[in-house]
Amino acid sequence: MRILLVEDHLPLAESLYKALTQAGFAVDCMHNGEDADHVLRTQDYALVILDLALPRLDGWEVLKRLRGRRNRVPVLILTAHGSVEDRVRGLDLGADDYLAKPFDLVELEARVRALIRRSHGMDSAQIGCGPLAYDSVSRVFSLGNQPLNLTPREHAVLEILILKGGKPVGKDALSEKIFGLDELSSADAIEIYVHRLRKKLDGSGVAIVTLRGLGYLLEVK
């Protein structure tokens, strides 16, 4: 899952980047509103963490433009100003959640997980596909009640497929969702990860199938 972090306070941005990448997310980091607005016009994200006090274009305007384009990506606002008026304004502009500084990283990560779950229509932290189960809090997969050993990239691909709930995902879309802007990526690389996942799921009763022209689909065989 790829997240956009928009924060101009560099020490905080570095701390959040480190925490989120360690939690298994691919993170793009922007330090001003103009750059954030640009990437939000061209890139696909699972979540946006948006500071309000940004140079060149403030967070209010970034959010307003984002929702004006009918982009429904979940947005978590960060701000040093936790007044009721600011919270109401942010929510009215289309923010999904609000966290005032200073905050605990554990709470931020929990809110991130909850927003991503809700954006995929998940009412529970647990999701399954036959014998394959995924805990979105621990972000651990299990197969037949045994932990499934996955590389970070394999995990990212399988996470997207299981969250899609039986809907196909194309190679290009998968590539956009798991690689950051500063990483070399290609749709062909996705084939390698899918091949490895198929071997690990082989004989389990759940499989990744290819739908010509549509992409990959996770289903119970």
Answer whether residue 82 shows pLDDT above 70: no
Q: Which long-range contacts (CB under 8 A, 24 or more apart) does 202-211 make?
A: 204/130, 204/131, 204/132, 204/143, 204/144, 205/130, 205/131, 206/129, 206/130, 206/131, 206/132, 206/143, 208/161, 211/168
pLDDT for the residue numbered 23: 87
Mean per-residue pLDDT for 70-82? Answer: 89
pLDDT classification of 208: cutoffs 50, 70, 90: very high
**What is 2-119's CATH number?**
3.40.50.2300
Q: Which CATH number fits domain 126-220: 1.10.10.10, 3.30.70.2190, 3.90.1150.10, 1.25.40.90?
A: 1.10.10.10
* pTM of the shown model: 0.84
Residue 184 has pLDDT above 80, yes or no: no
Distance, in Å, from the CA atom of 171 to the CA atom of 94, rounded to the nearest integer, reads 30
Answer yes or no: are the C-beta atoms of 40 and 30 closer than 8 Å: no
What is the DSSP track for 107-166? HHHHHHHHHHHHHTT-SSSEEEETTEEEETTTTEEEETTEE----HHHHHHHHHHHHTTS
Residue spans of the domains in the chain: they are: 2-119, 126-220
Per-residue b or e along 169-203, where b marks 16 or more CB atoms closer than 10 Å to that residue's CB: bebebbbbbbbbeeeebeeebbeebbeebeeebee
Mean pLDDT of all residues belonging to the chain:
91
Q: What is the rounded CA–CA span in Å between residue 22 and residue 20?
A: 5
Give the pLDDT mean for 187-195. 89
Residue type, 49: I
